[in-house]
Copies of this chain bind each other. A is one copy, B any other.
Amino acid sequence: MEKRDLIIEASIQVFTEKGIEKTKISDIAKAASIGQGTFYLYFPSKLAVMPAIAEVMVAKIEAGLKTLQLQGSLSQQLTQIIDVFFEITKQNKETFTLIYAGLTQTQHVQEWENMYEPIYSWFHHFLERVIETKTIKIEHLSKMLVGLIESTAEQVYLYDKEERENELERKRSLVLFLEAGITKHS
């Protein structure tokens, strides 16, 4: 395994365990089983690892979406899509929290949307197949779908304790809401 990837893996692990502020470079190095100096050959600081971590997560979402074999009614398809986001958010909630904290601290905030480009693009293709007339530009619709799905997933898994119990119901509500937004304008 490449040293760079070792560092990214180790960073995710240590950051999520101890938090960004309390993580020392030496912790990451130890977790990656490399020398402290070696870390600096690949990243100039611990925060500089954040974009690389973000890329990993975005890649997971993209991969999740691409393995979908969309079938059935619109609401069924939406359910499948939502499941991808919810599942990945659920399994990587610390990492997501991490990315928000980390990206905003570096000067990489702008990169965030660029990274999402593949996701938006996927939704674009999806929507093209699903809707016909466009009262709303497909680009904007894509971004709203992604934004709403993610913010809901975050509300459910990252922030609120109670919500986790309402998981299923919130997913169902989300499907209904999205379906309405999409079909109304199809």
Contacts and interface: CB of A to CB of B under 8 A. Distances in A.
**What is the oligomeric copy number?**
4
Nearest to A160: B113
Interface in A144-179: 144, 147-148, 150-152, 154-155, 158-161, 163, 166, 169-170, 173-174, 176-179
A51 B117 CA distance: 32
A47 B170 CA distance: 32
A31 interface: no
Contacts of A113: 155, 159-160, 163
**Size class of A's contact patch?**
35 or more
B177 A141 contact: yes
A53 to B, nearest CB: 13
A140 interface: yes
Interface of A: 19-21, 47, 97-98, 100-102, 104-106, 109-110, 112-113, 135-137, 140-141, 143-144, 147-148, 150-152, 154-155, 158-161, 163, 166, 169-170, 173-174, 176-181, 183-185
Determine chain A's interface SS by DSSP, over half rule: helix
Contacts of A176: 135-136, 184-185
Contacts of A143: 152, 155, 170
Nearest to A93: B109
A144 B160 contact: no
A136 B173 contact: yes
Contact of A109 (B112, B144, B159, B169): B159
Given A109-B158, A113-B159, A144 B101 contact: no
B161 A151 contact: no
Given A109-B159, A150-B151, 6 more contacts: A21-B21, A21-B47, A100-B104, A101-B104, A110-B159, A144-B174
